[in-house]
Amino acid sequence: MTSEVEMLPIAGFPVLRTTAGALSQRLLEALERGEQAVMFFANTNFIVQCTPLRERIVAAPNVVIANDGIGLDIGAWLVHRRRFVENLNGTDFIPALLAQAKRRVFLVGARPGVAARAADALRGLPGLTVAGSCDGFEGMSDPHRLVAQINASGAEVVLVALGNPGQERWILDHADRLDAKLLIGVGALFDFLAGDKPRAPALVRRLHLEWLYRLGLEPKRLARRYTVDIARFLLLCVVDGRKSAASSANA
46-90 pLDDT per residue, tens: 999 999 999 999 999 899 999 999 999 999 999 999 999 999 999
- Report the C-alpha gap between 74 and 80 in whole angstroms: 10
Can you give the pTM of this predicted structure? 0.92
- Report the C-alpha gap between 118 and 190 in whole angstroms: 5
Count of structural domains, the chain: 1
Q: Please report the beta strands in 119-250, taking only residues with DSSP state E, as ranges in sequence order.
A: 129-134, 157-161, 182-185
Radius of gyration of the chain measured on its C-alpha atoms: 18
Nearest Cα to Cα of residue 119 among 195, 187, 174: 195
- Report the C-alpha gap between 186 and 103 in whole angstroms: 17
Q: Peptide bond preceding 201: is omega within 30 degrees of 0, i.e. cis?
A: no
| Surface-to-core class of residue 72, CB atoms within 10 Å of its CB (0-12 exposed, 13-18 middle, 19+ buried) | buried
* Torsions phi, psi for 101 (to 5 deg): -70, -40
Domain that holds residue 148: 2-250
CATH number at residue 83: 3.40.50.10700
pLDDT band at residue 123 under the 50/70/90 scheme: very high
Mean pLDDT of 32-37: 95
pLDDT computed for residue 247 by the predictor: 60
pLDDT computed for residue 248 by the predictor: 57
